């Protein structure tokens, strides 16, 4: 049987022993940085392939810098800890990996980051489809606006910022939709609640720029490279107006958890015929092979791990 383990305090422990106190600063104020990383099971090779962990941990450490969190690990050390934990847990299926760096001080009335203690933790959980859909996702435009960079930097994964996404996601699901699309304060398209967004117009792939308060997603970058290198199509970063999405040939969402998710409807309007489009369909198959170590051209993006038989 696989084991549920976590790395915390510099050692690996049973997940039920990885605890923090009720006065932990991060619990009260959201002073934490996290990442979401996928380990994808390849049955033929009997290995898990951790997808682009180096880039995830580079962004993770950038976030730590913003919140003045200091941990005693660089990117390579974090990758080694991740492989060790994945192998020790013994799961032979797709996993979601969650690194977390947080203000661990047992203080609830101190708003000065530089005076607080720090901790690093890592855990893994079995994880299938983030959006369990048979066809394209049904999305709505959220009434909640995407956080501005002058409020909380959206380019890194700060825990407290995700209340913004949680409000939008909850609103969408309670209204009968699968996902929300968030606009920035200028009314331009920013991203989903946990995904970047692309639209296809006459063979051109368009996605919002960093200036529209997006997370600079690693899956977003992956898809952009695959579009250009494998499909020979142009990727353009520019501001997108809400109504442009309604008239696009295709719209899809990308993210570590969501992979590539086609959008069938937005605000009860079908995108083209409301079905998965040819470019999105081709990218789903291409991306699936890449993240599972099945495409030799992109093996450098994958860090293999061999789960222990337990």
| CA torsion angle 214 219 220 222 (round to 10) | 150
Structure tokens of 133? 């859909």
Integer Rg of the chain from CA: 20
Give, for 5, the enclosing helix (H) or strand (E): strand 5-8
Active-site residue identified among 103, 157, 169, 294? 157
Q: What is the pTM of this model?
A: 0.96
What is the percent of the chain with per-residue pLDDT over 90, rounded to a whole number?
95
Q: φ, ψ for residue 85 (rounded to 5)?
A: -70, -45
CB 134: neighbour CB atoms within 10 A? 4
Average pLDDT of the residues of the chain: 96
Residue 126 confidence class, pLDDT cut points 50, 70, 90: very high
Residue by residue, DSSP assigns 161-224 as GHHHHHHHHHHHHHTT-SEEEEE-TTSBEEEESSSEEEEEETTEEEE--GGGT----HHHHHHH
**What distance lies between CA 122 and its chain's CA centroid?**
16
The domain locations on the chain are 5-128, 137-291
Residue 130 confidence class, pLDDT cut points 50, 70, 90: confident
Structure tokens of 147? 């956080």
pLDDT in tens, 195-235: 999 999 999 999 999 999 999 999 999 999 999 999 999 99
Alpha-carbon separation of residue 213 from 22, 110, 269 (angstroms): 33, 28, 25
Q: Tell me which residue of 31, 69, 32, 74 sits closest to 53, measured CA to CA.
A: 74
Q: What share of the chain is helix, strand, coil (3-state, %, to 5)?
A: 30, 30, 40
Q: Which pLDDT score is estimated for 174?
A: 98
Judged against a pLDDT cut of 70, whether residue 182 lies above it is answered with yes
Task: Spell 32-44 as b/e; 16+ CB within 10 A means b.
Answer: bbbbbbbbbbbee
Judged against a pLDDT cut of 70, whether residue 310 lies above it is answered with no
Residue 132 confidence class, pLDDT cut points 50, 70, 90: low
pLDDT in tens, 74-93: 999 999 999 999 999 999 99
Q: Which pLDDT score is estimated for 252?
A: 97
Asked if 38 and 108 count as a contact pair (C-beta separation under 8 A), the reply is no
Q: Tell me which residue of 71, 131, 66 sits closest to 99, measured CA to CA.
A: 71
Average pLDDT score over residue span 283-305: 97
Question: Is it true that domain 5-128 has CATH number 2.40.10.340?
Answer: no
Q: Is 107 tagged catalytic? A: no
State the Cα–Cα distance between residues 133 and 148, nearest whole angstrom. Answer: 31
Q: Tell me which residue of 298, 281, 310 sits closest to 226, measured CA to CA.
A: 298
State the Cα–Cα distance between residues 155 and 243, nearest whole angstrom. Answer: 25
Structure tokens of 71? 């941990």
Indicate the CATH number for domain 137-291: 3.20.10.10
Average pLDDT score over residue span 49-70: 98
């Amino acid at each position: 049987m696989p084991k549920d383990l976590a790395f915390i305090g510099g050692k690996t422990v049973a997940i039920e022993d990885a605890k923090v106190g009720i006065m932990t600063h991060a619990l009260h104020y959201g002073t934490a940085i996290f990442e979401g990383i996928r380990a994808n099971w390849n049955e033929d090779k009997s290995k898990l392939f951790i997808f682009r962990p180096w880039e995830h941990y580079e962004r993770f450490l950038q976030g730590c810098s913003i919140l003045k969190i200091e941990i005693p690990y660089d990117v390579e050390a974090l990758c080694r800890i991740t492989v060790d934990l994945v192998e020790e847990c013994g799961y032979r299926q797709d996993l979601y990996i969650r690194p977390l760096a947080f203000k661990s001080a047992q203080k609830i009335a101190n708003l000065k980051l530089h005076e607080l203690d720090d901790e690093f933790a890592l855990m893994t959980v079995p994880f299938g489809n983030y959006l369990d859909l048979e066809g394209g996702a049904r999305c709505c435009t959220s009434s909640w606006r995407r956080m501005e960079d002058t409020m909380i930097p959206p380019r890194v994964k700060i825990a407290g910022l995700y209340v913004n996404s949680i409000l939008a996601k909850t609103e969408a699901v309670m209204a009968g939709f699968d996902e929300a699309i968030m606009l920035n304060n200028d009314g331009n398209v920013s991203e989903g609640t946990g995904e970047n967004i692309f639209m296809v117009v006459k063979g051109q792939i368009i996605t919002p720029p960093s200036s529209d308060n997006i997370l600079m997603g690693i899956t977003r970058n992956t898809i952009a490279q695959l579009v250009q290198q494998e499909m020979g199509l142009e990727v353009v970063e520019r501001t997108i107006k809400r109504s442009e999405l309604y008239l696009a040939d295709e719209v899809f969402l990308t993210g570590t958890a969501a992979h590539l998710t086609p959008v069938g409807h937005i605000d009860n309007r079908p995108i083209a015929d409301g079905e998965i489009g040819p470019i999105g369909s081709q990218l789903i198959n291409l991306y699936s092979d890449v993240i599972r170590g099945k495409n030799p051209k992109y093996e450098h993006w994958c860090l293999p791990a061999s789960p222990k038989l337990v």
